[in-house]
Every structure is written in C-alpha cells, then in structure tokens.
Amino acid sequence: MSSPHWNPQAPGHGGRPPQGGWGPVGPPAPLPPGGWAPPPPEPAPAGPVPASFGRRLSARLIDYVLALIAATLFFILMAVVIVLLTGGAETSDAQGEVWAWLFFFGWGLLLFFYDWLFLVTWGATLGKLVLGIKVTREDGGRLTQGQALGRSAFFCLPQSLPCLGHLLSLMESMAALGEERRAVHDRASGTVVVHARG
C-alpha cells in the first residue's frame, strides 16, 4: 500500500509512482514548494444577501426626500386649486384646521401609501431601487398584499406623531444592525431586505 504522505516532487522519487501503483483515484495533485497545499476557498453564499443597515438607511433618506417633494407639490397644487375655485387666497377656519392637521400629522400617512404602493407593485421603494435592494418574503418570494400592507403600516404610521414617531421608527429599525439584519417591522411582517439580483 502506498504511503498517504508520498510526494512526487520530493527529492529521491523522481516523479515515479509509489510501489504498488497510483491506486483507483489516480495521481495526487501537484503540491506547491514545501509540500503544503492551501485550503480551498469558501463557497459563496447560496441565498440572497441581506442588505446592510447603512444601505437601508440611505434608501430611506432618498425616499424621504422624494416624499417631501411630492408633499410640497401637493400643497402648492391644492393652494392653486383653492384660489381658482374660491376666487381669492383667503381660507376659512375649517380649511385652515384641515391644512394644519395634514401638515403636522399627515407625514406618516403619506409615507404609508408611498411605501405600500411601491412594495406591493415592485417589491421596493424608489430609494431601494436606486441602491439595488428589495423586500422579499423570508423564503425569497414576492410579498403578499397583506405583508406589504402590514410592513408599511408598522413602519410608517407611527411617524404621524411628530418627533416621537420618527424616534420610535428609528429605534425599531436599528434592530437591522444585528446578525440577521432585520428590523422589527421585518420580523413582524415576515420580510427581509436583500440585495436585488441583476
């Protein structure tokens, strides 16, 4: 039986097979100088790669800027419509209260519709699309209507409360800094944010 430590490149062997032949597996692979072979590289992860917290935060900032632009355009458009319909720039007390409520408490509702409509249609908001990430089910499949609705409600609606709501959303989102990279709203809705494949 041949020795398992036989090296065809070792001095004195001359590259000849050991006594008894190579055996059923054929000749061993050539070894580098010194007789040591480096370990094989680790295989790449098979499933989708979870997105980092930094990439998720950057996508949210893009979404906030886009939502703010949309809200500003909406207020301008409605102001023009009111002027055209009433023939003047003055508003009643009731109209003023409605505008005030929308201004202070409508942000979470705006984000909710923005998030939900994009997630249920494309699985990603515009910010996520720009940065190459998307939201999927835990098994990698497309979000259901209920998952998109629940995820958007859990994250966005608390932000209807100025300052406090934003702080709560930030705190629960920081759970994505963990090993699984999933925020609380991901766990509650059974979703995960991953890198989109091209």
Domain, as residue range, for 147 = 53-195
* Residue 43 domain flag: no
Residue spans of the chain under pLDDT 70: 1-38, 42-46, 88-92, 198
Rounded Cα distance, 187 and 193, in Å: 11
The pLDDT value recorded for residue 47 is 72
Give burial (CB, 10 Å; 0-12/13-18/19+) of 92.
exposed
Instruction: Give the pLDDT confidence score for residue 13 in this predicted structure.
Output: 52
pLDDT at residue 118, as a whole number? 96
Neighbours of 127 (CB within 10 A): 22
Residue 25: its pLDDT value, please? 56
Q: Residue 186: what pLDDT?
A: 97
Residue 58 confidence (pLDDT): 96
Q: Which residues pair with 50 in a beta bridge?
A: 194
Decide if 130 is inside a domain.
yes
- What per-residue confidence (pLDDT) applies to 167? 94
Q: Is 48 domain-assigned?
A: no
pLDDT at 82: 78
pTM, two decimals, is: 0.71
User: Is residue 130 within 8 Å of residue 65, measured between CB atoms?
Assistant: no
Asked if residue 137 belongs to a domain, the reply is yes
Instruction: With respect to residue 156, please indicate whether it lies within any of the assigned structural domains.
Output: yes
Q: How many domains does the chain have?
A: 1
